Amino acid sequence: PMTPKETPRRILENADNTFEKTFGQKAILTTKAHARVNLIGEHTDYTGGYVLPCLLPYKTTISVADNKSSNEFNVYSELFDEKVSFSDFIRSKDNRWTDYIKGCLSVFFDVNPQLEIAYLNILINTSIPIGRGIASSSALCVAILKMLRNYFGIRYNNNQIAILAHKVERNYVGVSGGIMDQMVSSIGIHGKALFLNCLTHKYELIDLPNNHRFELIDSNIQRDNRNSAYNDRHNQLKKAENIIDVDNLGTVTIDQLDKSLFTDNLIYKRALHVVTENQRTVCAKKFMLKNDMSRFGNLMNLSHTSYSQDFEASSPEIDLLVQRSIESGAIGSRLTGGGFGGFTVSLIEKQNYDDWYKNMRTFYPEERFFEIH
């Protein structure tokens, strides 16, 4: 399985070197934010429910210095090997990566009108696989906003940073996502899962199990929240909230979900996924606390079935991946993230890991496997 190629130290040195080569000066500060995997609780965040993600070793690092030679922002992405300069915060018409940077700058200066704009040279380095449902865009926004906070010396806590990053995705980029990704990327702790109530933002940090491991497998299907399928599901759930006349589907129990109110069975199925998923997430957290990982795995499997059949966010290839993982000895397996592609996450007892891996490798090449911890 692949591990992050660089240790944090090497990334810093690299970033520094590249920074000097790119901008002819040294970076004055560096920030970072990690990707996440959601263990359970999908499309429950923007409906005021529960999620249970944890941080991944993959991360985005931002280095910065003042641009003293022109009145513009220069941003260099090592991943895309592209340097872009701009002096306004107008969003592109074709979903460019720079929109996330411009969005962060725009939101940050909006909420801090007292600040005089400082033009910056910014370097972005990332080890996060992009478009795989592990929140690369949130990590980017959180890292940029933490950089701006530190650069301007504004007293935001990490919770506030997450809320700002969420604002960037919703109001600037135009994705109707919830707060899960930004929260875990900004306040998460390695080795712990974050059980988050997305309505109150109350959370608990729970130790990941010692005798089990989680593993990601790439479905090889590229995804992007900016694609319409994600927003479609969001809108269907908002319709469901209107139908049953509640503000947040996440607060509805299965007994309260009255099927007879729905004239459109599709909307009912979407709501059914969310209502049952919330219940599963609350139970999963209890099982993790008790270290009852076989029950936890079972909930992951039920979650996938619901995500695939009621929410219709999976695909035949992904269902097969999940099925093969379970047949190879995983206790639980499911598609993680916003849906329609990206990674699956599997739970495997450590003592069965080698057999599981050997068997899965008969179906998928090494580069499809990613370690979590």
Residues in contact with ligand GLA by the rule CB under 6 A:
38, 42-43, 45-46, 135, 177-178, 180-181, 225, 337-338
| Single-letter amino acid code for the residue at 120 | L
CA angle 238, 239, 242 (to 5 degrees): 90
The answer to whether residues 87 and 28 touch, using CB atoms and an 8 Å cutoff, is no
Minimum separation from the CB atom of position 135 to ligand GLA (A): 6
Which residue, 169 or 215, has its beta carbon nearer to ligand GLA? 169
Which residue, 42 or 99, has its beta carbon nearer to ligand GLA? 42
Which residue, 177 or 250, has its beta carbon nearer to ligand GLA? 177
Count the Cβ atoms, other than its own, within 10 Å of residue 88: 9
Locate 222 and state its tokens.
Answer: 């590229």
Closest Cα partner for 335 from 307, 296, 310, 363? 307
CA terminus-to-terminus distance, the chain: 11
Minimum separation from the CB atom of position 264 to ligand GLA (A): 22
Locate 287 and state its tokens.
Answer: 């099982």
Distance CA 372, CA 317 (A): 22
DSSP code, position 71 = S
Which residue, 38 or 344, has its beta carbon nearer to ligand GLA? 38
The answer to whether residues 177 and 36 touch, using CB atoms and an 8 Å cutoff, is no
Which residue, 178 or 297, has its beta carbon nearer to ligand GLA? 178
Whether 264 is a known active-site residue: answer no
- DSSP per-residue codes, 232-264: HHHHHHHHHHHHHT-S-GGG--GGG--GGG-S-
Minimum separation from the CB atom of position 181 to ligand GLA (A): 5
Please list, in sequence order, all residues whose beta carbon lies within 8 angstroms of the beta carbon of residue 135, skipping any fewer than 6 positions away: 35, 36, 181, 184, 185, 337
Which residue, 133 or 329, has its beta carbon nearer to ligand GLA? 133
Minimum separation from the CB atom of position 171 to ligand GLA (A): 14
Q: Is 291 helix (H, G, I), strand (E, B) or coil?
A: coil
Which residue, 121 or 301, has its beta carbon nearer to ligand GLA? 301
Minimum separation from the CB atom of position 116 to ligand GLA (A): 33
Distance CA 192, CA 183 (A): 14
Distance CA 140, CA 101 (A): 8
Catalytic residue among 99, 181, 224, 310: 181
Minimum separation from the CB atom of position 188 to ligand GLA (A): 14
Closest Cα partner for 119 from 85, 161, 145? 85
Distance CA 245, CA 256 (A): 11
Minimum separation from the CB atom of position 166 to ligand GLA (A): 8
Tell me the CA distances in angstroms from 154 to 111, 158, 161, one per residue in order. 11, 12, 11
Minimum separation from the CB atom of position 120 to ligand GLA (A): 26
**Which residue matches tokens 């957290």?**
285
Which residue, 23 or 343, has its beta carbon nearer to ligand GLA? 343
Backbone φ/ψ region at 308: left (φ over 0), alpha (ψ -120 to 50), beta? alpha
**Which residues does the annotation mark as catalytic?**
181
